[in-house]
Amino acid sequence: MAQELPDLKVLRRCWPEYQDEATTHPVAVNGATFGGDDPVIIAGPCAIESYEQTLDVARVVRDAGCKMMRGGVFKPRTNPHSFQGTGLKGLEILARIREETGLGVVTEVLDPRLVGTVAEVADMIQIGSRSMHNFPLLIEVGKAGVPVLLKRSWSATLEEWICAAEYIAKEGNFNIVLCERGIRASCHWEYARNVLDLNIIEPLRRATPLPVIVDPSHSTGQWRLVAGMSRAALAAGAHGLLIEVVGSETARAGLKCDAHQGIPPEVLAEIMGAASERESLCRS
Ligand code: PEP
Ligand code: MN
Protein backbone atom coordinates (compact mmCIF):
# COMPACT_ATOMS: atom_id res chain seq x y z
CA MET A 1 0.00 0.00 0.00
CA ALA A 2 2.77 2.44 0.89
CA GLN A 3 4.15 2.34 -2.67
CA GLU A 4 0.83 3.71 -3.99
CA LEU A 5 1.05 6.77 -1.74
CA PRO A 6 4.78 7.61 -1.68
CA ASP A 7 4.29 11.24 -0.69
CA LEU A 8 2.64 10.51 2.62
CA LYS A 9 5.88 9.80 4.42
CA VAL A 10 7.28 13.23 3.74
CA LEU A 11 4.54 14.64 5.95
CA ARG A 12 6.40 13.24 8.96
CA ARG A 13 8.96 15.99 8.30
CA CYS A 14 8.65 17.68 11.74
CA TRP A 15 9.11 14.37 13.54
CA PRO A 16 12.40 12.89 12.23
CA GLU A 17 12.44 10.30 15.01
CA TYR A 18 9.09 8.92 13.78
CA GLN A 19 9.89 8.18 10.15
CA ASP A 20 8.49 4.67 10.33
CA GLU A 21 4.87 5.00 9.23
CA ALA A 22 3.73 2.49 11.84
CA THR A 23 4.81 4.73 14.74
CA THR A 24 2.79 7.27 16.73
CA HIS A 25 4.09 10.16 18.86
CA PRO A 26 2.25 9.69 22.18
CA VAL A 27 0.73 12.82 23.72
CA ALA A 28 0.22 12.63 27.50
CA VAL A 29 -2.34 14.91 29.15
CA ASN A 30 -3.57 14.61 32.73
CA GLY A 31 -2.85 10.89 33.06
CA ALA A 32 -4.29 10.01 29.65
CA THR A 33 -2.07 9.13 26.69
CA PHE A 34 -3.32 9.81 23.18
CA GLY A 35 -1.64 7.29 20.91
CA GLY A 36 -1.08 4.88 23.81
CA ASP A 37 -2.64 1.46 24.26
CA ASP A 38 -6.12 2.63 25.22
CA PRO A 39 -8.45 5.06 23.46
CA VAL A 40 -8.82 8.39 25.25
CA ILE A 41 -12.39 9.60 25.59
CA ILE A 42 -12.85 13.33 26.17
CA ALA A 43 -16.43 14.17 27.11
CA GLY A 44 -18.27 17.22 28.35
CA PRO A 45 -20.70 19.98 27.52
CA CYS A 46 -20.59 21.88 24.27
CA ALA A 47 -20.30 25.13 26.21
CA ILE A 48 -19.66 26.17 29.79
CA GLU A 49 -22.99 27.90 30.37
CA SER A 50 -23.05 27.98 34.19
CA TYR A 51 -21.23 26.46 37.17
CA GLU A 52 -24.14 24.15 38.05
CA GLN A 53 -24.64 22.88 34.48
CA THR A 54 -20.90 22.23 34.08
CA LEU A 55 -20.53 20.51 37.45
CA ASP A 56 -23.47 18.22 36.63
CA VAL A 57 -21.85 17.10 33.40
CA ALA A 58 -18.36 16.93 34.94
CA ARG A 59 -19.63 14.43 37.54
CA VAL A 60 -21.15 12.30 34.78
CA VAL A 61 -17.88 12.42 32.84
CA ARG A 62 -15.73 11.57 35.86
CA ASP A 63 -18.04 8.78 37.03
CA ALA A 64 -17.98 7.24 33.55
CA GLY A 65 -14.20 6.89 33.92
CA CYS A 66 -13.01 9.71 31.65
CA LYS A 67 -9.85 11.60 32.60
CA MET A 68 -10.57 14.60 30.42
CA MET A 69 -13.47 16.96 29.98
CA ARG A 70 -14.29 19.30 27.11
CA GLY A 71 -16.17 22.60 27.38
CA GLY A 72 -16.09 25.77 25.30
CA VAL A 73 -16.00 29.24 26.79
CA PHE A 74 -15.28 31.10 23.55
CA LYS A 75 -17.76 29.67 21.07
CA PRO A 76 -17.08 30.03 17.34
CA ARG A 77 -20.67 30.52 16.20
CA THR A 78 -21.56 30.79 12.54
CA ASN A 79 -24.34 33.25 13.35
CA PRO A 80 -23.12 36.41 15.13
CA HIS A 81 -26.51 36.74 16.83
CA SER A 82 -26.20 33.34 18.55
CA PHE A 83 -24.85 32.78 22.06
CA GLN A 84 -21.10 33.42 21.86
CA GLY A 85 -20.00 31.65 25.05
CA THR A 86 -19.38 32.86 28.59
CA GLY A 87 -15.80 34.00 27.89
CA LEU A 88 -13.50 34.76 30.81
CA LYS A 89 -16.27 34.11 33.33
CA GLY A 90 -16.64 30.63 31.82
CA LEU A 91 -12.89 30.13 32.02
CA GLU A 92 -13.08 30.78 35.78
CA ILE A 93 -15.85 28.18 36.07
CA LEU A 94 -13.72 25.71 34.11
CA ALA A 95 -10.74 26.32 36.42
CA ARG A 96 -12.95 25.68 39.44
CA ILE A 97 -14.42 22.48 38.01
CA ARG A 98 -10.92 21.26 37.09
CA GLU A 99 -9.80 21.84 40.65
CA GLU A 100 -12.87 20.19 42.18
CA THR A 101 -13.03 17.08 39.97
CA GLY A 102 -9.41 16.40 39.01
CA LEU A 103 -10.48 16.18 35.36
CA GLY A 104 -8.10 17.56 32.74
CA VAL A 105 -9.81 20.22 30.64
CA VAL A 106 -9.74 21.03 26.96
CA THR A 107 -11.19 24.30 25.75
CA GLU A 108 -11.07 26.31 22.56
CA VAL A 109 -9.21 29.56 21.99
CA LEU A 110 -10.28 31.86 19.16
CA ASP A 111 -8.18 34.98 19.69
CA PRO A 112 -4.36 34.77 19.49
CA ARG A 113 -4.18 37.46 22.22
CA LEU A 114 -5.94 35.16 24.70
CA VAL A 115 -3.78 32.06 24.22
CA GLY A 116 -1.68 32.78 27.34
CA THR A 117 -4.77 33.35 29.50
CA VAL A 118 -6.46 30.14 28.33
CA ALA A 119 -3.21 28.19 28.70
CA GLU A 120 -3.14 29.07 32.42
CA VAL A 121 -6.30 26.98 32.91
CA ALA A 122 -6.44 24.45 30.07
CA ASP A 123 -4.56 21.16 30.07
CA MET A 124 -5.10 21.11 26.32
CA ILE A 125 -6.04 23.92 23.94
CA GLN A 126 -8.55 23.27 21.19
CA ILE A 127 -8.26 24.85 17.77
CA GLY A 128 -11.69 24.56 16.18
CA SER A 129 -12.60 23.69 12.63
CA ARG A 130 -13.16 27.34 11.72
CA SER A 131 -9.70 28.30 13.01
CA MET A 132 -7.59 25.57 11.42
CA HIS A 133 -6.36 28.05 8.81
CA ASN A 134 -5.73 30.86 11.32
CA PHE A 135 -1.95 30.78 11.08
CA PRO A 136 -1.18 33.51 13.67
CA LEU A 137 -3.33 31.53 16.16
CA LEU A 138 -1.51 28.27 15.33
CA ILE A 139 1.84 30.01 15.88
CA GLU A 140 0.69 31.39 19.25
CA VAL A 141 -0.44 27.97 20.53
CA GLY A 142 2.83 26.57 19.24
CA LYS A 143 4.69 29.08 21.41
CA ALA A 144 2.47 28.41 24.45
CA GLY A 145 3.76 24.85 24.65
CA VAL A 146 0.44 23.41 25.94
CA PRO A 147 -0.84 20.21 24.21
CA VAL A 148 -3.10 21.11 21.30
CA LEU A 149 -6.24 19.48 19.92
CA LEU A 150 -6.32 20.50 16.26
CA LYS A 151 -9.66 19.98 14.58
CA ARG A 152 -9.86 19.54 10.83
CA SER A 153 -11.38 22.36 8.86
CA TRP A 154 -14.53 20.94 7.28
CA SER A 155 -12.97 21.48 3.87
CA ALA A 156 -9.32 20.62 4.52
CA THR A 157 -7.40 17.99 2.61
CA LEU A 158 -5.13 15.62 4.49
CA GLU A 159 -2.08 17.66 3.53
CA GLU A 160 -3.63 21.03 4.51
CA TRP A 161 -4.52 19.60 7.91
CA ILE A 162 -1.02 18.28 8.51
CA CYS A 163 0.48 21.58 7.36
CA ALA A 164 -1.65 23.35 9.99
CA ALA A 165 -0.20 20.98 12.61
CA GLU A 166 3.27 21.81 11.36
CA TYR A 167 2.68 25.54 11.99
CA ILE A 168 2.34 24.54 15.66
CA ALA A 169 5.24 22.06 15.62
CA LYS A 170 7.53 24.59 13.94
CA GLU A 171 7.34 26.67 17.15
CA GLY A 172 8.65 23.69 19.13
CA ASN A 173 5.31 22.28 20.35
CA PHE A 174 5.06 18.68 19.15
CA ASN A 175 2.21 17.64 21.42
CA ILE A 176 -0.61 17.84 18.94
CA VAL A 177 -3.63 15.56 18.60
CA LEU A 178 -5.67 15.71 15.40
CA CYS A 179 -9.48 15.56 15.49
CA GLU A 180 -11.72 14.60 12.56
CA ARG A 181 -15.10 16.35 13.04
CA GLY A 182 -16.90 15.83 9.76
CA ILE A 183 -16.59 17.45 6.38
CA ARG A 184 -19.02 19.61 4.45
CA ALA A 185 -21.26 17.88 1.95
CA SER A 186 -24.87 18.22 0.93
CA CYS A 187 -26.39 17.14 4.25
CA HIS A 188 -28.35 20.29 4.98
CA TRP A 189 -29.29 18.90 8.38
CA GLU A 190 -31.78 16.48 6.81
CA TYR A 191 -30.30 13.61 8.78
CA ALA A 192 -26.85 14.72 9.91
CA ARG A 193 -24.84 17.89 10.25
CA ASN A 194 -21.73 16.78 8.33
CA VAL A 195 -20.17 13.70 6.74
CA LEU A 196 -17.87 11.89 9.15
CA ASP A 197 -14.74 11.10 7.15
CA LEU A 198 -13.51 7.92 8.79
CA ASN A 199 -11.70 7.05 5.56
CA ILE A 200 -9.01 9.54 6.45
CA ILE A 201 -7.85 7.83 9.66
CA GLU A 202 -5.73 5.10 8.10
CA PRO A 203 -3.84 7.30 5.58
CA LEU A 204 -3.52 10.02 8.20
CA ARG A 205 -1.94 7.59 10.64
CA ARG A 206 0.55 6.60 7.96
CA ALA A 207 1.27 10.19 6.98
CA THR A 208 1.79 11.62 10.46
CA PRO A 209 2.92 10.28 13.83
CA LEU A 210 0.29 12.47 15.53
CA PRO A 211 -2.54 10.69 17.35
CA VAL A 212 -5.94 11.04 15.69
CA ILE A 213 -9.29 11.26 17.49
CA VAL A 214 -12.84 11.64 16.19
CA ASP A 215 -15.68 13.98 17.19
CA PRO A 216 -18.94 12.10 16.54
CA SER A 217 -20.99 14.98 18.01
CA HIS A 218 -20.29 17.84 15.61
CA SER A 219 -20.10 15.45 12.67
CA THR A 220 -23.58 14.03 13.25
CA GLY A 221 -25.34 16.84 15.12
CA GLN A 222 -27.75 14.18 16.48
CA TRP A 223 -27.13 12.49 19.80
CA ARG A 224 -28.76 9.24 18.67
CA LEU A 225 -26.09 8.77 16.01
CA VAL A 226 -23.16 9.29 18.38
CA ALA A 227 -22.76 5.78 19.88
CA GLY A 228 -22.69 4.10 16.46
CA MET A 229 -20.22 6.57 15.00
CA SER A 230 -18.05 6.25 18.13
CA ARG A 231 -17.80 2.48 17.64
CA ALA A 232 -17.09 2.97 13.94
CA ALA A 233 -14.36 5.53 14.65
CA LEU A 234 -12.62 3.24 17.13
CA ALA A 235 -12.88 0.31 14.71
CA ALA A 236 -11.34 2.51 12.01
CA GLY A 237 -8.28 3.14 14.19
CA ALA A 238 -9.06 6.37 16.05
CA HIS A 239 -6.97 6.91 19.19
CA GLY A 240 -9.91 8.46 21.00
CA LEU A 241 -13.14 10.44 20.86
CA LEU A 242 -14.36 13.95 21.65
CA ILE A 243 -17.99 13.78 22.70
CA GLU A 244 -20.65 16.22 23.89
CA VAL A 245 -22.71 15.17 26.88
CA VAL A 246 -25.74 16.58 28.70
CA GLY A 247 -26.35 16.11 32.43
CA SER A 248 -30.03 15.15 31.98
CA GLU A 249 -33.00 15.75 29.69
CA THR A 250 -34.08 18.66 31.91
CA ALA A 251 -30.64 20.21 31.51
CA ARG A 252 -30.80 19.67 27.73
CA ALA A 253 -33.98 21.75 27.53
CA GLY A 254 -32.22 24.79 28.98
CA LEU A 255 -29.04 24.72 26.88
CA LYS A 256 -28.08 27.60 24.60
CA CYS A 257 -25.73 25.64 22.37
CA ASP A 258 -25.88 22.28 20.50
CA ALA A 259 -28.59 20.91 22.80
CA HIS A 260 -29.68 18.22 20.31
CA GLN A 261 -26.28 16.56 20.01
CA GLY A 262 -25.24 15.96 23.64
CA ILE A 263 -25.55 12.29 24.60
CA PRO A 264 -27.28 11.38 27.89
CA PRO A 265 -25.15 9.85 30.69
CA GLU A 266 -26.17 6.23 29.95
CA VAL A 267 -24.95 6.52 26.36
CA LEU A 268 -21.57 7.79 27.57
CA ALA A 269 -21.36 4.71 29.82
CA GLU A 270 -22.16 2.50 26.82
CA ILE A 271 -19.45 4.14 24.70
CA MET A 272 -16.90 3.81 27.51
CA GLY A 273 -17.73 0.09 27.65
CA ALA A 274 -17.22 -0.26 23.89
CA ALA A 275 -13.93 1.63 24.10
CA SER A 276 -12.57 -0.61 26.81
CA GLU A 277 -13.56 -3.76 24.91
CA ARG A 278 -11.98 -2.64 21.67
CA GLU A 279 -9.07 -4.70 20.54
CA SER A 280 -6.12 -2.36 20.62
CA LEU A 281 -5.65 -0.90 17.15
CA CYS A 282 -3.30 1.76 18.44
CA ARG A 283 0.32 1.55 17.45
CA SER A 284 2.92 3.12 19.67
C1 PEP B 1 -16.50 22.40 19.36
O2 PEP B 1 -15.92 21.31 19.48
O3 PEP B 1 -16.88 23.05 20.34
C4 PEP B 1 -16.75 22.98 18.03
C5 PEP B 1 -17.24 24.19 17.88
O6 PEP B 1 -16.47 22.13 17.02
P7 PEP B 1 -16.00 22.44 15.51
O8 PEP B 1 -14.88 23.43 15.60
O9 PEP B 1 -15.57 21.10 15.03
O10 PEP B 1 -17.20 22.97 14.80
MN1 MN C 1 -20.83 22.00 20.21
In order of their start, the domains of the chain are 38-283 (3.20.20.70)
Q: Is the pLDDT of residue 77 over 90?
A: yes
User: Contact at 8 Å (CB) between 222 and 264?
Assistant: no
- What is the C-alpha separation between 115 and 33, in angstroms, rounded? 23
Q: How many whole angstroms from 65 Cα to the centroid of ligand 2?
A: 21
Whole-number Å distance between alpha carbons of 51 and 89: 10
What does each C-alpha distance from 111 to 47, 78, 195 come to in angstroms? 17, 16, 28
Kindly identify the ligand whose nearest atom is closest to the C-alpha of 129: 1
Question: What is the distance between the alpha carbons of residues 100 and 88, in angstroms, rounded to a whole number?
Answer: 18
Per-residue pLDDT, 191: 84
Query: Which residue minimizes the CA distance to atom 4 of ligand 1?
Result: 128
Closest approach atom of ligand 1 to CA 244: 2
Nearest to 105 by CA among 65, 75, 72, 144: 72
Q: Nearest ligand, CA of residue 71? A: 1
- Taking residues 176-189, report their average pLDDT: 87
The answer to whether 31 and 38 have CB atoms below 8 angstroms apart is no
Which residues have C-beta atoms less than 6 Å from ligand 1? 46, 72, 76, 108, 128-130, 151, 181, 215, 218
How many angstroms separate the alpha carbon of residue 39 from the centre of ligand 2? Answer: 21
Whether the predicted pLDDT of 282 surpasses 90: no
* Cβ(194)–Cβ(222) below 8 Å: no
Q: pLDDT per residue over 114-161, tens digit each?
A: 999 999 999 999 999 999 999 999 999 999 999 999 999 999 999 999
Q: Which helix (H) or strand (E) holds 250?
A: helix 249-253
Q: Which atom of ligand 1 is nearest to the CA of 152?
A: 9
Instruction: Give the atom of ligand 1 at the shortest distance from the alpha carbon of 129.
Output: 8
**With b meaning 16 or more CB within 10 Å and e meaning fewer, what string describes 29-65?**
bbebbbbbeebbbbbbbbbbbebebbbbbbbbbbebe
Q: Which atom of ligand 1 is nearest to the CA of 72?
A: 3
Tens digits of residue pLDDT in 3-14: 555 467 778 989
pTM of the complete model: 0.95
Alpha helices in 84-241 (DSSP H): 87-101, 115-119, 135-144, 158-169, 201-207, 216-220, 226-235
Dmax (CA) of the chain: 54
End-to-end CA distance of the chain: 20
Ligand 1 pocket mutation, candidates 106, 148, 181, 195, criterion most atoms within 8 A of CB: 181
**Stretch among 8-12, 195-199, 272-276 having the lowest mean pLDDT:** 8-12
Coil vs helix vs strand at 256:
coil
Q: Is 107 helix (H, G, I), strand (E, B) or coil?
A: strand
Mean pLDDT of the chain: 94
What are the CA-CA distances from residue 257 to residues 78, 191, 275 (Å)?
12, 19, 27
